[in-house]
Amino acid sequence: MNHRVILALCIFPAPIYCMERTADLTINDFEPLIYQEVIQENIDKKAEEISRDHEGKSLTIVMVMKGAIHLVSDLMRSKNLKVPVTLECIQASSYGQNGTEPGTLNLFGADRLNLKDKHVLLVDDILDTGETLSGIIKQLSKQMPASLKTCVLLQKSKKRKNLEHADYPIFTISDAFVIGYGLDYKEQFRNLHGIWIKKGK
Ligand code: IMP
Ligand code: MG
């Protein structure tokens, strides 16, 4: 190790330690669950349903950052989405320090929206405990939208107290931890093609 590196380690030990920390789960802990092509097929089917349900109306999509990024992008560009759309976004984070267990809901950007009399489609990545989506619905409903529907990429099949199901789930999966296509583990893996499931579940 050269003397400049040793000097830097002595002066800035904490930041360097933080930079070198990596997630404890790696891509090797996951296996493919749903391929990209199948996701697009199902999105197209839902886009048709959404268009039918909102015929003659225009739709305000509220994207929940960051997990819904690819779903919103592919849904908005689906050949079957036939209604005019506008896009808004809010940010929600709910997972705790370890990355796989829920924590407290933090919501940003909902206050600056004006949803009065709008037909809103709230799009999120996944419906797990339902805490996040039901918290967001509670906030957005205060703005008196004309209608408020929910679309999620994944809905986990389990009992939920708050929100039993989304209006437009693209897939329903077992209660396992998944990544890819927007979904993260400690902010990583959102860029993966398709959805990957944690092995051994
Ligand atoms: P809920 O509030 O428990 O429904 O969780 C919703 C949020 O937790 C989602 O928007 C995701 O960000 C995150 N989440 C839940 N399950 C998973 C998962 O399996 N993988 C990655 N993130 C997840
Ligand atoms: Mg997340």
What pLDDT sits at residue 15?
Answer: 43
**Token duo for residue 184:** 């993260």
Q: Which residue lies with its CA nearest to atom 5 of ligand 1?
A: 128
Structure tokens at 14: 């904490």
How far does residue 178's CA lie from ligand 2's centre (Å)?
10
Task: Judge if the beta carbon of residue 129 lies within 6 A of ligand 1.
Answer: yes
Is the CB of 150 within 6 Å of ligand 1?
Answer: no
In whole angstroms, give the CA distance from residue 132 to residue 126.
Answer: 9
User: 13: how many CB neighbours lie within 10 A of its CB?
Assistant: 10
Residue of the CA atom closest to atom 11 of ligand 1: 126
pLDDT tens across the length of the chain (201 residues): 455 544 444 444 444 434 445 559 999 999 999 999 999 999 999 999 999 999 999 999 999 999 999 999 999 999 999 999 999 999 997 756 565 666 677 889 999 999 999 999 999 999 999 999 999 999 999 999 999 999 999 999 988 888 889 999 999 999 999 999 999 999 999 999 999 999 995
User: How close are the terminal C-alpha atoms of the chain, in Å?
Assistant: 43
CA geometry: angle at 53 spanning 48 and 55, to 5°? 90
Q: Residue 126 C-alpha to ligand 1 middle, in angstroms?
A: 5
Q: What is the pTM of this model?
A: 0.86
State residue 181's pLDDT score. Answer: 98
71: CB partners within 8 A, 6+ apart: 43, 123, 125, 151, 153, 170, 181, 182
pLDDT, residue 7, reads 44
The confidence score (pLDDT) of residue 139 equals 93
Pocket test of ligand 1: the residue of 70, 94, 98, 105 to mutate, having most ligand atoms within 8 Å of its CB, is 94
**Does the beta carbon of 124 lie inside 6 Å of ligand 1?**
yes
